[in-house]
Structure 1
Amino acid sequence: MSSSVLQWVWLRHCVFATLMVLCVLGVFIMYYKPDISIPTFNIHMVSQKEGDNHSQPDTIILIWMWPFGFKFDLSCRVFGITGCHLTDDKSLYRKAHGVLFHHRDIHGDLGNMPKEPRPWFQKWVWSNAESPANSGRIPGLDHLFNLTCNYRRDADIPVPYGYLVPVTDRDQSFELPAKDKLVCWIVSNWNPNFKRVQFYNKLKNHINIDIYGKAFGQHLNNQDFPKIISSCKFYLSFENSIHTDYITEKLYNPLMMGTVPVVLGPTRQNYENYIPGDSFIHVDDFASPKELAERLLYLDQHPAEYSRYLNWREHFKVKISVLGFDHACKTCHYLENHRGYQAFHDLNKWYWG
């Protein structure tokens, strides 16, 4: 056999062997592909600030309007949330994963809402801390939002006015403040048609109540509130309107300051979703304001029984939510874990019934 023929045969074998190796390698890669991650870049990231060596977090919450004009810190680190970027910079609208709208600041004609189309990945979040009685219906909102952020437990992002957290070893033991008053009430919104005003007018006939606030021409500063509330054995935690889960700082302030709240609002069972049943007194537990007054006077004369309403402090302490701030951070935390499509319909029916 000539040398040229031998070379041709050898070349053919080499080509065949090479093809076989490539086929086997392809099958191996197809079925036994190693887990190699290729870095990707989030197209919705905020551009780096000048001099900042770290990229911005990948969840952006745009605060479209400050609630009642009240501005707050734009860092959620106090909650242990680090993957959030809160901003009021509307130029970031197209990059924001969530846009937070405060109901009481939305114009009735929706004139101050975004004019640009909503990006496909973006969630519009309706936020409101006021009760239905103190919030006007806006028909155009019915099919506008993806999520609700509200004090109600059935909201997508529930944000109660306050909550209890466990006491830790680092917490200092609580010392009960000195009490020189029996019953106190601080009230600014005085309306004779309110149930709380009507109940007070009956209760005051049977027990002495120290009353303060704007309704009586008194302008209290931030230091006055804790001084007054902590100096009373009982505080009238009367809500201005009665709705499910509408339990405001009127409850949590006296709890925090070592005073037993006497509540007028939703049912006892509703309150017990948030605080222990033996930490407060509910007006509905009594047949009349007179019977309630008699119970308070009895507890005043029996310190051991009164102190039972404060035993919960051995295990829990109070945290009070900050208007807007808690809503923004909890919205961001929610969106970190829920990126799928969501929509909310019939807002007016859900909230106003």
Structure 2
Amino acid sequence: MSMAVRSGRLVCGHRGALLLLLLILAGTLVILHRIVQSPLLNQYEILQDHLERQQKQNARSTRTILLWSEFFGDPRWKLSWDTLGPQDLRDDLQCPVYQCEVTNQHDFLPMELYDAIVFHAAEMFPLLRPLPSQRSPHQAYVFALMESPGETKHRLDDEEGFYNLTMTYRLDSDVVWPYGQLLDIETDAVVAPSASPYWRKPPASFNDSVVWDLWSGKTKMAAWFVSHCETLSKREILAERLQEFLPVDIYGKCGTLSCDRGDPRCDEMLDTDYLFYLAFENSLCDDYVTEKLFDALRRNIVPVVFGGADYSRILPPHSYIDANRFETVQELAQYLNFVAGDPEEYVGYFWWRTHYRLASTSPFCDLCARLHAPGSVHKTQFYGDIQSWWFNSCRLKSQIHL
């Protein structure tokens, strides 16, 4: 065998050995990399890296919300502009998470690019735009309603599997949209409405000189402002029965008295003339209380409530009188007469003001936060039977015997 052949074989042998060594080394490096990156050894770093990437992505990303229909004739849904950007949500609405755009302009973006489309179920779909022409898998269709289920203007049995999120007054909604909130004065934290609020205990005695002085001048028992006269809750029957035992002044279409909308005297006389305000709801539905209750709480008057809500999830104890806590209307009237005649008992219903304050919030703050929540774009949910979810929260019969 020639020296050239031997030399060639030797070179090939060295190359083969070197290639094998390189393959072994590469395999070893891959194994070592996988071991180092294994959740068994590196679970915290993996989580940290993911959250940091997600945080950077969220900081750069703006979610866009389209208001598909009007809110009782208001295309802006009581917002300041047709389109609000992140700075508006931060400065005007005071949203903690504000990297969103809210618009009623359907051509603001191509339809498939909106992150959420909000449908107001208390109004029919617009005739010219009944439904979006196309729907992207990442979009959230939002069922929005502040009114009771009796005010729904959609055939919900035709909308099964249509909605991804709910935005209502109900506390089990994806975005809770209450008529008002109570905040702790010391911490500024929202206490209620909540499924399990923590309330301070009312003191054994309480004095408020302003309310005490007003009590002595209050010569009328109860007032009620109402324009919807026949209701599912039968509140009109409760008011009529209550009038058999004590005087109730009814203002509006359902009564004999009137007070012009916007007249400051209408609110002032609740402070100066009346002891109680009837905050009776038109439907007996879970968590349903309207703005009339929160408006009454801003006055120096004790609200008498009647509805389907568990009011302990909405208001502090001993700040209201719940008609459903009494078996008969006569027993309710007797208690109202007792409170009306005892100034110390009456003033005690205002103890909560030293610890809590009334506030309001925009549901679009919470919707924006929901759209930015980790995993929101990776998780899809549908309400398969939105009608049952919405309607089954109501009942026809009250606890107090009418």
Q: Under TM normalisation by the shorter chain, which class is it?
A: 0.7 to 0.9
Of the three residues 160, 165, 168, the one matched with 1:147 is 165
Cα 1:26–1:302 change in 2 (3 A) is same
Aligned length: 332
CA distance in 2, matches of 1:95, 1:147: 18
* Equivalence map 1:73-84=2 (5 Å): 73=80, 74=84, 75-77=88-90, 78-84=94-100
Match of 1:296 in 2: 336
Q: 2:68 aligns with which of 54, 64, 70?
A: 64
Contact 1:206 1:290 in 2 (8 A): yes
- The residue that corresponds to 1:244 in the other structure is 286
The one-letter amino acid paired with 1:260 is V
Higher mean C-alpha displacement, 248-257 vs 207-216 = 207-216
User: 2-side partners of 1:246 and 1:18: how far apart?
Assistant: 76
Cα drift, residue 111 of structure 1? 6.1
Q: How far 1:15 moved relative to its partner?
A: 12
Q: Counterpart in 1 of 2:386?
A: 347
| Aligned counterpart for 1:87 among listed residues 79, 103, 110 | 103
1:26, distance to aligned residue in structure 2 (A): 8.5
Alignment of 1:128 onto 2:170 = no
Shift of 1:123: 0.7
Aligned partner of 2:132 among 115, 118, 122: 115
Letter in 2 for 1:60: T
2:261 to 183, 195, 220: 220
CA–CA distance in 2 between the matches of 1:28 and 1:225? 81
Q: Which deviates the most, 212-221 or 118-127? A: 212-221
Corresponding residue number in structure 1 for 2:121? 103
Task: Tell me the SS of whatever aligns to 1:68.
Answer: coil
How far does the alpha carbon of each residue in 1:248-292 deviate from its partner, in whole angstroms, 9 at most, with x for none? Answer: 12222222334221011116xx11122223211111233433332
Shift of 1:169: 7.7
Structure 2, unaligned stretches of length 5 or more?
1-6, 38-45, 189-207, 393-402
Secondary structure of the residue that 1:79 maps to in structure 2? coil
Q: Could you give the per-residue CA deviations for residues 110-160 of structure 1, whole angstroms, max 9, x where no partner exists?
A: 863333221111110111111122224513222211111111122222222
Match of 1:51 in 2: none
1:194-343 alignment to 2 at 5 Å?
195-215=234-254, 216-221=257-262, 223-224=264-265, 226-231=267-272, 232-266=274-308, 270-321=310-361, 325-326=362-363, 328-337=364-373, 338-339=376-377, 340-343=379-382
Single out whichever of 337-346 and 214-223 deviates more from structure 2: 214-223
The 1-side partners of 2:67 and 2:154 are apart by 21
What's the CA shift for 1:347?
Answer: 1.1
- Structure 1: how far apart are the matches of 2:114 and 2:209? 46
TM-score by length of 1: 0.77
The separation in 1 between residues aligned to 2:226 and 2:147, in whole angstroms, is 17
Tell me which amino acid in the other structure corresponds to 2:70: W
- Provide closer, same or farther for how the CA distance between residues 198 and 183 of structure 1 changes in structure 2, counting only shifts above 3 A: same
Out of 222, 229, 236, the position equivalent to 1:190 is 229
Name the CA shift for 1:15/1:66 in 2 (closer, same or farther; >3 Å): farther
State the TM-score, normalized to the length of structure 2: 0.69
CA distance 1:229–1:118, shift in 2 (3 Å): farther
Task: State the shift of 1:103 in Å.
Answer: 0.4
- What value does the CA root-mean-square deviation take over the aligned residues? 3.8
The CA distance in 1 between the partners of 2:359 and 2:64, in whole Å, is: 26
Q: Which amino acid is 1:76 matched to?
A: L
In the alignment, the residues of structure 2 paired with residue 40 and residue 23 of structure 1 have an alpha-carbon distance, to the nearest angstrom, of: 34
Name the % identity.
27
The Cα shift of 1:66 comes to 2.8
CA distance in 1, matches of 2:135, 2:232: 43
The ranges of structure 1 where at least 4 consecutive aligned residues each deviate by more than 6 angstroms after the TM superposition are 12-23, 33-37
